Each structure stands twice: as structure tokens, then as C-alpha cells.
Amino acid sequence: MPAAQRVVTPCKVNLHLGVHAEKDAKGYHRVDSIMLAVAPCDTVAVEDAPALAVTHEPPLLVPAEKTTTWRAALLLAEALGKKPGVAVRVACEIPEKAGLGGSSADAGAVLRVLAARWGVDPLDPHVVAVARRVGADVAFFLDPGRPALMVGAGDELRETFPELAGVPIVLVMPPGEGGSTKAAYDEFDRDPADPGSYEPMCRALRAGDVAAIAANLRNNLAPAAERLMPAMGEAERWLHAQPGVLGAQVSGSGSCSFAICESAQVADRIAREARDVHDWWARATFSLGAEGKFC
């Protein structure tokens, strides 16, 4: 039987998030999403067990059977005709309800580990199909080492870009219960905003131009999310005003904002001030490549 396996999975920030007003037959918005992997990271460990078991540390507030990790393991086993006899343990460092994709990252990591254990390429169409069933961002985390454009409901890979590792980034999140994706989309539906084009960001990523990437950050869901959680908007505006910040915005539906910085020293300074002066959660970090060496 395979030995226990462990994988470290990053979270993500949205360099571009364009939500369209129209919805598909399932009621999902059309979404254009360009994601970039960053630390912090969760660690997912998988080993043989009599039956499927999933645990998170610290524990989540939902039953194991309701988690994306459980669903990912169960659906992949069904798709490949395998018995889901594994124990999955997730050590969580990615904040919840932050817009950083923690649950999707965990599901993607589980799919990668189980695909390897069961002799399937993580990018095999069966695995990708399961990732899309589990959640909108999960397919990105099958290969998070490169920025990627996802379309459809945010679950269809359209393009990957050259690695963009080592860009200094700071994450800042005000205290509170965190952002609710459903509530943000409901608020968006009351006054939909133009999604804009993702092409300027794509061009910047193809060229590896960090200044252009920072200048073209876009998230048309952020105003709706900020109306529900004004402290989120305060943190984003504060980031924009900091010396050495090239660009800043909310990630996903929040409540975490991020800034692309001129240097690691700038990111460190901003993180310290966010924690010490404003009592916000903050972390200076970097964008990650395939090696994930900053996790």
C-alpha cells in the first residue's frame, strides 16, 4: 500500500475578478478570474484508512462530510472506481472567509495527492472534471505554480502564464467574521458592476511586467463586498495610500486585501504597521512558483 503522503498547498489572490450579471442554467454567474498563488499555505496529509475520514486543525465549524476535502476525495474515488479508504488531515494556516481560496486549495491538494496514489495524472480530464464539480476555484489548485485565467463559472481553464515567483506581496484583513461569498454576490445582483476586460492583465502576465500587473488589478465584486463590510474597504484604501505599494485590491469576495509592493522591506513594514497600529491580521509574503519555496 502507498505510504503516507503530504503536500503543501498555497492560497491565491485574484489579480482580475470580473463577475458578469448573467447567470447560467444552474444559477451561477459567469466569472472571469485570474489567480496567482501566494503563501500562507495549508498542509494536507493522506494515508490509508479503513474508510474515508477528514480532519482539520484547527477544527472547522462544519461536519467533515460537508467539507470540500471530503467531497473531492469521494467524487474522485467514484470517478476512478476506487474505494475511498484514506484518512485526510489538513493543517490550516490559510484564513477562512478571506477570499484567499483556502477550502478550494485543500480540495485541489487532496485531488493531487489521491491522483498520484491512484496512478492518474493530476491534470487528467477525470480529475479536472471532479475539481470543477467540487468548486469554482478548485481546478486552479491542481497546478497552482503558474498564474491562470479561469472562465465559465470560474472553473474552466482558459490560459496559463509564465511563472511569477518572488513578487513581494502583503495581505491585510480586518477582524470580524470574514466575507460571505453568497452575501457578496447577492449584493452585487442589486447593482451589477461592469466586469471589464481581462486582456490588459493577460498582456502584463505574458510579459512578466510587475508594474503593469499592479496597474491593472481589477475586482468588480469588491464594491458589493465592501458595502457589507466597510472595514474591508478601509483596509484596501489604507493599502493604496502606503508608500512603496504598486497596486492593491480586495481578493475575491474578501475580507482580505492584498498589495503588490516595490520590495520585501516595504511588505514587511506594511504588515507590521497593520498589526501594531490597526490590529489587523497581516502577513508579508511572496508570489509562488512551481516549487512553492516561500510556503
Domain range for 139: 5-160
CA torsion through residues 104, 17, 37, 272, sign: negative
Q: What share of the chain is helix, strand, coil (3-state, %, to 5)?
A: 35, 30, 35
Within this chain, do residues 103 and 221 fall inside the same structural domain, yes or no?
A: no
Question: Which one has a higher pLDDT value, 37 or 1?
Answer: 37
* Residue 1 in this model has a pLDDT that exceeds 60: no
Domain boundary among 117, 135, 160: 160
The predicted structure's pLDDT at residue 2: 64
Q: Per the residue annotation, which of 12, 32, 42, 97 is the catalytic one?
A: 12
Q: What is the mean pLDDT of residues 180-206?
A: 95
Q: Per the residue annotation, which of 32, 42, 106, 137 is the catalytic one?
A: 137
Q: Read off the pTM.
A: 0.94
Domain boundary among 135, 160, 185: 160
Say if CB 179 and CB 98 are below 8 A apart.
yes
Within this chain, do residues 103 and 185 fall inside the same structural domain, yes or no?
A: no
Within this chain, do residues 148 and 10 fall inside the same structural domain, yes or no?
A: yes
In a domain, 291, yes or no: no
In a domain, 271, yes or no: yes
Structural domains counted in the chain: 2
In a domain, 293, yes or no: no
The predicted structure's pLDDT at residue 23: 87
CA torsion through residues 155, 161, 165, 167, sign: negative
**Arithmetic mean of pLDDT over the chain:** 94
Instruction: Tell me if residue 137 is catalytic.
Output: yes
- Of 57-61, 123-127, 219-223, 274-278, the poorest mean pLDDT is in 57-61
- Residue 109 sits at φ, ψ, to 5 deg, of -65, -40
Q: What is the pLDDT of residues 97-107, one digit of tens each?
A: 999 999 999 99
* Residue 180 in this model has a pLDDT that exceeds 90: no
Within this chain, do residues 43 and 175 fall inside the same structural domain, yes or no?
A: no
In a domain, 295, yes or no: no
Helix (H, G, I), strand (E, B) or coil at 247: strand
Within this chain, do residues 235 and 107 fall inside the same structural domain, yes or no?
A: no
Within this chain, do residues 48 and 95 fall inside the same structural domain, yes or no?
A: yes
Q: What is the mean pLDDT of residues 51-72?
A: 94
Confidence of residue 84 (pLDDT cuts 50, 70, 90): very high
Return the closest-CA partner of residue 221 out of 180, 183, 253, 189.
253
Domain boundary among 134, 160, 186: 160
Return the closest-CA partner of residue 198 out of 163, 150, 156.
150
Question: Percent of the chain at pLDDT above 70?
Answer: 99
Within this chain, do residues 146 and 227 fall inside the same structural domain, yes or no?
A: no
Q: What is the pLDDT of residues 10-52, one digit of tens each?
A: 999 999 999 999 888 778 899 999 999 999 999 999 999 999 9
Q: What is the pLDDT of residues 210-264, one digit of tens each?
A: 999 999 999 999 999 999 999 999 999 999 999 999 999 999 999 999 999 999 9
Within this chain, do residues 91 and 148 fall inside the same structural domain, yes or no?
A: yes
Say if CB 60 and CB 69 are below 8 A apart.
no
* Residue 160 in this model has a pLDDT that exceeds 80: yes
Within this chain, do residues 102 and 229 fall inside the same structural domain, yes or no?
A: no
CATH number of the structural domain spanning residue 155: 3.30.230.10
Within this chain, do residues 153 and 175 fall inside the same structural domain, yes or no?
A: no
Return the closest-CA partner of residue 173 out of 35, 281, 262, 28.
281
Return the closest-CA partner of residue 87 out of 1, 4, 2.
4
CATH number of the structural domain spanning residue 202: 3.30.70.890
The predicted structure's pLDDT at residue 67: 95
Instruction: Tell me if residue 24 is catalytic.
Output: no
- Of 58-62, 113-117, 147-151, the poorest mean pLDDT is in 58-62
The 10 Å Cβ neighbour count of residue 117 is 17
Return the closest-CA partner of residue 251 out of 113, 136, 100.
100
Within this chain, do residues 131 and 190 fall inside the same structural domain, yes or no?
A: no
CA pair distance 65, 63, nearest whole angstrom: 5
In a domain, 294, yes or no: no
Within this chain, do residues 44 and 150 fall inside the same structural domain, yes or no?
A: yes
In a domain, 148, yes or no: yes
In a domain, 102, yes or no: yes
